[in-house]
Structure 1
Amino acid sequence: MILTDFVRALAQMVDPRFRRVLWLGIGLSAGLLVALYAGLLALVGAFAPEHVTLPLIGEVAWIDDALGWGSLVLMLGLSVILMLPVASMMSGFFLEEVADAVEAKHYPGLPPARAIPIADQVRDTFAFLAVLVLVNIAAFAASLAFPPAAPFLFYGVNGWLLGREYFQVAAMRREGRAGARVMRKRHPLRIWGAGCLMALPLTVPVVNLLVPVLGAATFTHLYHRLARRRAATR
């Protein structure tokens, strides 16, 4: 059933609202990384000496050029590492739009979902980004100590993080924060399994940028499936 949710989300990627959120996330992320690089270049220009005099060598005038090229290589390397979490953060501000698009197509007739306050969206998005980075650093350190466990740690940890975040986004619109937490605790294995499915594309460059949109859509389907099952048992 989780695969069905994922396939339905993938089939809707042509939806203009999906594409809008995707390009907003990527565009804002790229803009932020460019701004960070511009700031790094400004620091290099402010503090790097134009030339230095070395014993036995004399005056060296290319130090600032070397630092400038070095900063470019550093930023390119960091962009590979940072692009996904930054894109996730930027897309996080628009994931409600993805959930709205899913519900409009697949669950017509529902009453309007409650709007999540902007302050809550900002807080939750930055909190998710911080946890995502910190937990992955810890998992990376653990994988260095025991390399055979690296893939299991990566997919297991990111599956838990992505499942927790995207289910919260999907459920909170209909259940509120407390209700979403109750549902998440009631179905931990299903949510973790769906999160692991979302973690699989993380290792594929470019494709991994689709994860925030696909995750929001897949977990919207998952939430409604669990909510209908709950209603049927009452």
Structure 2
Amino acid sequence: MIFTALARGWQDLMRPAALKILLKGIALALGLLIAAAVGLGWLVGLVTPDSISLPWIGPVSWIHTAAGWTAIGLFLFASIFLMVPVASIFTGFFLEDVAEFVEKTHYPTLPEVRPLGFLESLGETLRFFGVVVAANIVALMIYPFVIPFAPMLFLALNGYLLGREYFQMAAQRRMGREAARALYQRNAPTVWMTGVLMALPLAVPVLNLVVPVVGAAAFTHLFHRLAR
């Protein structure tokens, strides 16, 4: 059951609808980071004097431009590390769309459900991202004391978080919040193990960008198998 759900999730990633959602999240993240870099460069240039006088050199007029470009360059370098979490946030806005196209493709006889509104989707995404960030910050403080077990702790923690959130997201589309939580609790080991396997790509650069989309698809499949 676990491997079937994951295999179908990876297969669904190759569908145009899933690739569109993934590329949309990446494009929005890139746009935001580039805009932030340009804005930071403009702000630094704004507060930097047009010229300064250096000892033995005299007036220097290029400091204003150099400071702006340096700020942009440093921010773009930092964006290499910011890209994944920011893209994950934006992709998270569309996870309901992933579940919808998976159901229409594989479970076409299901009745329509009420889609989440933008504010609901935004709230759920930010809440989940905040929990993941907070939990991993705490884990970072623990890793130095359990170095041999750090990779296992990373997988166990993120597997739990991914499994719980993505499974309940898929379940709540078809049943109430309480029923979804009850179904999760009855199948917690299966959901957790699926989450652990889904967390493996998190440590692989670039590949970790697809985790939100593949995870949403895989847990939608898992939910329908367990709900039977």
Q: TM-score, normalised by structure 2?
A: 0.89
Assess if the C-alpha contact under 8 Å between 1:54 and 1:60 holds in 2. yes
Match of 1:167 in 2: 167
Aligned AA (2:13): M
User: Structure 1 stretch 48-57 or stretch 193-202: which is displaced more?
Assistant: 48-57
Q: 1:192 to 1:74 in 2, by over 3 A?
A: farther
User: Structure 1 stretch 60-69 or stretch 197-206: which is displaced more?
Assistant: 60-69
1:214 aligns with 2:214: yes
Match of 1:97 in 2: 97
Pairing 1:75-90 to 2, within 5 Å after superposition:
75-90=75-90
Q: 1:186 to 1:52 in 2, by over 3 A?
A: farther
| Structure 1 position 226, deviation (Å) | 0.8
- Higher RCO, 1 or 2 (CA under 8 Å, sep at least 6)? 2
Assess if the C-alpha contact under 8 Å between 1:21 and 1:91 holds in 2. yes
Question: Alpha carbon RMSD of aligned pairs, Å?
Answer: 2.1
Residue 3 of structure 1 aligns to a residue in which SS?
helix
Aligned residues: 228
| Structure 1 position 123, deviation (Å) | 0.7
Pairing 1:112-131 to 2, within 5 Å after superposition:
112-131=112-131
Give the Cα separation in 2 of the matches to 1:72 and 1:150: 35
Match of 2:11 in 1: 11
Q: 1:96 to 1:71 in 2, by over 3 A?
A: same
Match of 2:26 in 1: 26
Aligned AA (1:148): P
Q: TM-score, normalised by structure 1?
A: 0.87
Give the Cα separation in 2 of the matches to 1:69 and 1:133: 30
1:149 aligns with 2:132: no
Percent identical: 49
Any stretches of 5+ residues in structure 1 without a counterpart? 229-234
